[in-house]
């Protein structure tokens, strides 16, 4: 059930700034955030259904967060590589966690910003009814 939070542009702007910095939606919303002035998920969804600008701002914040998340994954990889150079053994569990984090970051980026991060393989069909079908792969 949605809470009775009043729409506050300042709070919404703060939330979207946190989203753009890579925080999860759950962490910026009430009750996880513990701020009673912040809306819950149902309230935010209701507002976005009624306000196209709000939805656009949300989508922009999520899109902006991908660059932050991808740089965070890159930094984690670099620091882990640097750590592994100074030790004889690398922790296999940590390696798997880093791989999972990077894979999740790539997956999210491919879906949220496909223009920049999607795999570029595509299938193109061209031709008319009277000509033969031509199939081209673009990479």
In a domain, 127, yes or no: no
Closest residue by Cα to residue 61 from 111, 24, 92, 32:
24
113 touches 63 (CB < 8 A): yes
Closest residue by Cα to residue 18 from 85, 64, 70:
64
In a domain, 80, yes or no: yes
- pLDDT tens-digit readout, 5-42: 899 999 999 999 999 998 989 999 988 778 888 999 99
Residues 6+ apart with CB under 8 A from 97: none
- pLDDT tens-digit readout, 47-97: 999 999 999 999 999 988 888 888 888 888 888 888 878 887 778 888 888
Domain that holds residue 74: 9-113
In a domain, 92, yes or no: yes
Q: pLDDT-based confidence at 127, cuts 50/70/90? A: low
In a domain, 120, yes or no: no
CATH of the domain at 77: 1.10.10.60
Give the single-character DSSP code of 7.
P
In a domain, 62, yes or no: yes
In a domain, 88, yes or no: yes
Overall number of domains in the chain: 1
In a domain, 1, yes or no: no
Residue 105 has pLDDT above 90, yes or no: no
In a domain, 121, yes or no: no
């Amino acid at each position: 059930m949605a809470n009775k939070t009043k729409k506050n542009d300042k709070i919404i702007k703060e939330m979207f700034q946190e989203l753009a910095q890579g925080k999860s939606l759950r962490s910026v919303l009430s009750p996880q955030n513990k701020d009673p002035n912040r809306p819950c998920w149902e309230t935010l969804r209701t507002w976005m259904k009624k306000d196209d600008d709000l939805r656009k701002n949300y989508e922009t914040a999520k899109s902006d967060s991908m660059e932050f998340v991808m740089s965070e994954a890159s930094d984690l990889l670099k620091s882990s590589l640097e750590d592994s150079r100074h030790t004889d053994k690398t922790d296999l569990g940590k390696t798997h966690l880093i791989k999972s984090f990077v894979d999740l970051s790539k997956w999210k980026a491919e879906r949220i910003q496909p223009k920049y991060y999607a795999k570029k393989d595509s299938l193109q069909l061209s031709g008319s009814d009277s000509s033969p079908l031509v199939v081209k792969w673009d990479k």
